[in-house]
């Protein structure tokens, strides 16, 4: 293990006594932000290369610093680096170690920058790749959902409003609703990259710097598109953190909605889907139980993700410009939300591979609750020149009659139907067929089998 012999803080000339151990305990963020070491080193290398190009430091010093930084990266990645809480964060831990490796010339690395711009440079670079990784995981979810949808275009289930049977739909169409949601999530994450492509490095503590730096150069080196415009805003801004946390919250919320549906559908009351033994757990007392714990876990995790969004909103509320220590917590919040989402997406993909629709039960349930009543009303409008409102009332009377006779709509005879609307003919009876009902919903975005099929094809192409 590398020993850190130089154990003075960088501000010991100015601040005579050492920080109280209590403050060290809460002020140190190294346990959290050491996760940014790669980005920090990358940022420092780009910075010193720029300082050399601009003739602010010599070739020799630049090379020594780059050598030291590369060595530190190797030490950290092979777990040979000793992090010290006394040096607060990843930036000072690395700077201190650089002194040990290359000596006093390490003192040039922090020319024309501050930890204030350094930390958000690291964070933005980290968030860019985290955002892309999340989108890869969302892609997997979309692919797995499309696979189930493809096999269930003609699987008929009840569509619900208020959790009451509303109109019959294709199970695939229902699943494709979630494909829409996850696709929007991907787009939202992608859109948030725009702000992450603005380079904070070089705004220094808050005013910019008197050194002749080249921020366009570091932007290019670090994969940013352009430097940020205002130095004060740059060190104060955490909007990009909120964008990320909000995007994570929405994606999490979508997961919580589908997991909730699966929990309901798996219940004894519904029995619309089966969960394989791989994704259920037993009870310690009730031997018969197969509980959807994993689904509940995902639904619950959304609460923590929302909490993180609200923590950050609250930290920023009323915070004056520019940098304050309050902001240090942003990283812990981001890492927590990111890890929860990555984990949830992985688990959810596993869940998708372990569910099977109970087609028979779906069809049975879809036949309850006078689910074709709207189709009948539409039929009356189209075939017996009635206004929709009039047709609606006629149909309601027919439903009342069916209820009185304790029959489904399709079990009413033509004679019975004619008591309510004498103009009806045999032709009306086909309206009560669920497949006919579904296939009549041909309007763009509707549930007809053909529509669903072409939407699946479209998404499959898009996601290849």
Please say which residue, 108 or 323, places its beta carbon nearer to ligand ARG: 323
Is residue 273 helix, strand or coil?
strand
Annotated catalytic residue, options 162, 210, 284, 443: 162
Please say which residue, 118 or 167, places its beta carbon nearer to ligand ARG: 118
Kindly give the pairing relationship between strand 198-199 and strand 226-227.
parallel
Shortest distance, position 22 Cβ to ligand ARG, whole Å? 18
Return the residue of 81, 87, 323, 449 that touches ligand ARG, per CB under 6 A.
Answer: 323
Annotated catalytic residue, options 129, 283, 304, 387: 283
Please say which residue, 119 or 402, places its beta carbon nearer to ligand ARG: 119
Distance CA 81, CA 382 (A): 77
- Enumerate residues 51-110 that contact ligand ARG by CB under 6 A: 89
The dihedral built from the CA positions of residue 320, 323, 328 and 331, taken in this order, carries a sign that is positive
Nearest to 233 by CA among 195, 177, 181: 195
Report the 10 Å Cβ neighbour count for 360: 9
Please say which residue, 236 or 372, places its beta carbon nearer to ligand ARG: 236
- Enumerate residues 8-37 that contact ligand ARG by CB under 6 A: 29
Residue 328 binds to ligand ARG (criterion: CB under 6 A): yes
Residue 203 binds to ligand ARG (criterion: CB under 6 A): no
Interface region with ligand ARG, contact rule CB under 6 A, candidates 35-43, 185-193, 270-278, 322-330: 322-330
Half-sphere exposure of 120 (CA within 13 A, CB side): 32
Shortest distance, position 218 Cβ to ligand ARG, whole Å? 18
Q: What is the largest CA-CA distance in the chain?
A: 101
Q: Is the backbone peptide bond immediately before 186 cis, with ω within 30 degrees of 0?
A: no
Residue 115 binds to ligand ARG (criterion: CB under 6 A): yes
The dihedral built from the CA positions of residue 446, 451, 456 and 457, taken in this order, carries a sign that is negative
Residue 351 binds to ligand ARG (criterion: CB under 6 A): no
Shortest distance, position 72 Cβ to ligand ARG, whole Å? 17
∠ CA 352-357-363, rounded to 5°: 150
Residue 327 binds to ligand ARG (criterion: CB under 6 A): yes
Judge contact between 398 and 420, C-beta under 8 A: yes
Q: Where are the alpha helices (DSSP H) in 318-447?
A: 330-352, 359-366, 373-383, 388-404, 414-420, 434-439
Catalytic residue flag (residue 283): yes
Catalytic residue flag (residue 162): yes
Give the number of residues in contact with ligand ARG, rule: CB under 6 A: 9
Shortest distance, position 115 Cβ to ligand ARG, whole Å? 4
Residue 119 binds to ligand ARG (criterion: CB under 6 A): yes
Judge contact between 417 and 431, C-beta under 8 A: no
Judge contact between 83 and 92, C-beta under 8 A: no
Interface region with ligand ARG, contact rule CB under 6 A, candidates 69-77, 97-105, 113-121, 313-321: 113-121
Judge contact between 213 and 203, C-beta under 8 A: no
Residues known to be catalytic: 162, 283
Residues forming contacts to ligand ARG in the complex (CB under 6 A) are 29, 89, 115-116, 119, 323, 325, 327-328
């Amino acid at each position: 293990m590398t020993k850190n012999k130089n154990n003075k803080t960088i501000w010991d000339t100015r601040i005579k006594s050492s920080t109280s151990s209590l403050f060290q305990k809460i002020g140190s963020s190294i346990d959290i932000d050491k996760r940014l070491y790669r980005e920090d080193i990358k940022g420092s290398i780009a910075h010193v290369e720029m300082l050399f190009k601009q003739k602010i430091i010599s070739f020799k010093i630049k090379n020594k610093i780059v050598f030291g930084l590369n060595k530190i990266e190797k030490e950290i990645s092979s777990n040979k680096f000793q992090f010290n809480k006394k040096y607060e964060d990843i930036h000072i831990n690395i700077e201190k170690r650089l002194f040990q490796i290359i000596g006093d010339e390490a003192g040039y690395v922090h020319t024309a920058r501050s930890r204030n711009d350094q930390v958000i440079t690291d964070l933005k670079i980290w968030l860019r790749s985290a955002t892309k990784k999340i989108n890869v995981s969302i892609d997997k979810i979309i692919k797995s959902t499309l696979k189930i949808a493809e096999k269930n275009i003609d699987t008929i289930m009840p569509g619900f409003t208020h959790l009451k049977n509303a109109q019959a739909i294709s199970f695939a169409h229902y699943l494709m609703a979630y494909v829409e949601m996850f696709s929007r999530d991907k787009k939202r994450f992608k859109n948030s990259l725009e702000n992450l492509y603005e380079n904070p490095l070089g705004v220094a503590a808050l005013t910019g710097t008197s050194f002749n730096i080249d921020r366009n150069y570091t932007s290019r080196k670090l994969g940013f598109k352009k430097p940020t415009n205002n130095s004060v805003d740059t060190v104060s801004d955490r909007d990009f953190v909120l964008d990320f946390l909000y995007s994570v919250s929405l994606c999490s919320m979508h997961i919580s909605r589908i997991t909730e549906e699966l929990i309901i559908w798996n219940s004894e009351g519904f029995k619309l889907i089966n969960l394989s033994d791989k994704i259920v757990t037993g009870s310690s007392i009730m031997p018969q139980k197969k509980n959807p714990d994993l689904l509940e876990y995902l639904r619950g995790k959304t609460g923590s993700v929302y909490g993180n969004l609200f923590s950050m909103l609250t930290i920023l509320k009323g915070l004056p410009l520019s940098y304050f220590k309050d902001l240090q917590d942003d990283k812990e919040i981001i890492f927590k939300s990111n890890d929860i989402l990555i984990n949830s997406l992985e688990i959810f993909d596993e869940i998708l591979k372990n569910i099977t629709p109970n087609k028979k039960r779906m069809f049975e349930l879809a036949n309850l609750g006078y689910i074709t009543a709207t189709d009948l009303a539409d039929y009356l409008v189209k075939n017996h020149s009635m206004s929709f409102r009039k047709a609606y009332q006629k149909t309601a009377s027919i439903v009342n009659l069916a209820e009185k006779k304790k029959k489904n709509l399709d079990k009413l005879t033509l004679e019975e139907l004619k008591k309510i609307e004498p103009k009806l003919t045999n032709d009306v009876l086909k309206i009560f067929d669920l497949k006919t009902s579904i296939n009549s919903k041909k309007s763009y975005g509707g549930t007809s089998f053909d529509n669903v099929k072409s939407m699946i094809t479209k998404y499959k192409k898009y996601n290849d």
